[in-house]
Amino acid sequence: MNSVAQKIEEKYKKKNVVDIKSGDTIKVHQKVREGGKERIQIFEGMVLRVTRRGSLSGTFTVRRISSGVGVEKTFLIHAPNILKIEVVKRTKVRRNYLTYMRELTGKSVRLAGVDFDREAVNVIHDEKAEAEEAKIHEEALAKHDELAAKEAQERAKEEAKAEAALAKHQAKAEAEQSEATSDAKGPAVSQEKE
């Protein structure tokens, strides 16, 4: 019975996962869908807790201070909407669950840093996530190009209208000027004949 559940879990687990520990400062690249648009949102903060590392239901909680308010988010380690996890800083802590960090403010929040090989920790390549990130980026570029083309087309129409109006105005001004010069010449010629 247990082996069947494990087989099902293995199907949905990610192959490679970054080693996250409590006290790490990380960046979580999360795919967010708003209406019909998809974008990548980066949430950076300190890991307060990591639970069930080897399990499909493993989670980690990240805390960040945003506009003076503490914000905590709990993510599933193997969630498909998490594209990348990047360890920025590693600190020395003695606990797995850092509840005491919630009460701390200012300089007391800082923890002693530990030297670590950032490249070695963050070298996890998930082809699916990278392909999806590239796809989202290409869609955004395509939409941007489409909007730029529409704007250029509208600008060209407005310029054509302006040029047509200017040409019409110039033609009208030239006609009035030629009419005025012919009127000025006309009475002068008639006075000479008299």
Per residue, what are the HEC states of 136-184?
HHHHHHHHHHHHHHHHHHHHHHHHHHHHHHHHHHHHHHHHHHHHHHHHH
Domain ranges of the chain: 2-125
DSSP structural state of residue 107: G
Q: Beta-strand (E) ranges in the chain?
A: 25-34, 37-51, 59-66, 69-76, 82-89
The reported pLDDT for the residue numbered 82 is 92
CATH architecture classification, 2-125: Roll (2.30)
- What residues in the chain have per-residue pLDDT under 50? 189-190
* pLDDT reported for residue 111: 82
Cα–Cα distance for residue pair 184/191, rounded to 1 Å: 11
Q: Structure tokens of 69? A: 């308010």
**What is the predicted pLDDT for the residue at 176?**
85
C-alpha–C-alpha distance, residues 71 and 118, integer Å: 25
Give the per-residue pLDDT at 59: 95
Helix (H, G, I), strand (E, B) or coil at 32: strand
